[in-house]
């Protein structure tokens, strides 16, 4: 637990018994007190203003209103303390989870108390002329005209059952990354389309991106998840250098209800 939260909890606990409160009177007024005791015919109280014990006739004190307000305040303080405690436990649980993420670059799906590693896919750069295939290596050479970045097969071997799944992405380099929908074609899945820009000799990457949340939890580590549940289909996490055609891919299938 952080020092700040410890201090706040201590202050809240102290407030439950040491804070001043109103001792209401039947005439509509009140005394600001720290404590009070009900005697058979009088009320003895410790004045918060004067710091002395004083007494007042019992029939001049509205005990019911005093206790109702004290209970309401006590309940509110206890609720705030419980919320702080729950928040601290959630923070510590996430810190433990982050510490357990494997150190190797890649994509990891949260699966209860463990992580399932998504294997980095082998990709092919396919040119339109005769569907010439170039193995995607680092760095990938700039290809003339329009090309597609493809994965073999119409379905990934890694299955995701929960469409609201949470992932961790540990980057290999300081690059751009995102989640994309893979387009299924006969025998393949297209991850990106590359349009060559002749003048600057660079590539324009075009992909069907999914809206995601990104939360950086370390220098090279991001907690990521889709903003909306993913419909059944083919997807891929990609890491790339914009304009360079250097794309790495981790593919998966969303198949709710699948074993």
CB 187 within 8 A of CB 180: no
- Which CATH class name applies to 3-100? mainly beta
203 phi/psi in degrees, rounded to 5 = -115, 140
At residue 241, the pLDDT reads: 86
Q: Tokens in use for 61?
A: 């004190």
pLDDT tens-digit readout, 37-75: 999 999 999 999 999 999 999 999 999 999 999 999 888
Distance CA 105, CA 82 (A): 38
Q: Tokens in use for 232?
A: 């059944």
- 32 CB contacts (<8 Å, ≥6 apart)? 20, 21, 22, 23, 47, 48, 49
Look at residue 170 and tell me whether its pLDDT is greater than 50. yes
Q: For a pLDDT cut of 70, what percent of the chain falls above it? A: 84
For the chain, domain boundaries: 3-100, 106-254
Distance CA 24, CA 43 (A): 11
Quote the pTM value: 0.65
66 phi/psi in degrees, rounded to 5 = -60, -50
* CA distances to 66, 136, 138, 160 from 54, in Å: 17, 86, 84, 70
pLDDT tens-digit readout, 193-243: 998 877 667 788 999 999 999 999 988 999 999 999 999 999 999 999 888
Q: Count the helices and strands in the chain (H runs, E runs).
A: 2, 20
pLDDT tens-digit readout, 87-134: 887 778 777 888 889 999 999 999 888 899 999 999 998 887 655 555
């Amino acid at each position: 637990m952080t020092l700040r939260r410890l201090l706040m909890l201590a202050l809240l606990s102290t407030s439950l018994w040491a804070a001043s409160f109103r001792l209401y009177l039947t005439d509509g007024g009140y005394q600001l007190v720290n404590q009070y005791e009900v005697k058979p015919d009088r009320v003895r109280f410790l004045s918060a203003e004067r710091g002395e014990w004083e007494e007042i006739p019992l029939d001049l004190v509205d005990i019911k209103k005093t206790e109702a307000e004290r209970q309401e305040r006590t309940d509110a303080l206890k609720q705030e303390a419980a919320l702080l405690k729950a928040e601290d436990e959630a923070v510590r649980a996430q810190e433990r989870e982050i510490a357990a993420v494997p150190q190797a670059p890649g994509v990891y799906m949260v699966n209860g108390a463990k992580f399932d590693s998504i294997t980095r896919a082998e990709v092919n750069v396919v040119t339109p002329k005769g569907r010439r295939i170039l193995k995607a290596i680092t760095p990938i050479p700039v290809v003339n005209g329009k090309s597609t970045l493809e994965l073999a097969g119409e379905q990934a071997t890694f299955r995701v059952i929960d469409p609201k799944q949470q992932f961790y992405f540990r980057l290999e380099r300081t690059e751009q990354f995102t989640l994309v929908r893979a387009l299924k074609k006969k025998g393949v899945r297209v991850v990106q389309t590359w349009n060559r820009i002749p003048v600057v000799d660079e590539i324009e990457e075009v992909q069907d991106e999914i809206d995601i949340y990104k939360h950086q939890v370390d220098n090279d580590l991001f907690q990521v998840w889709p903003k909306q549940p993913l419909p059944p289909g083919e997807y891929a996490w990609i890491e790339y250098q914009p304009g360079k055609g250097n794309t790495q891919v981790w593919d998966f299938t969303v198949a709710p209800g699948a074993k």
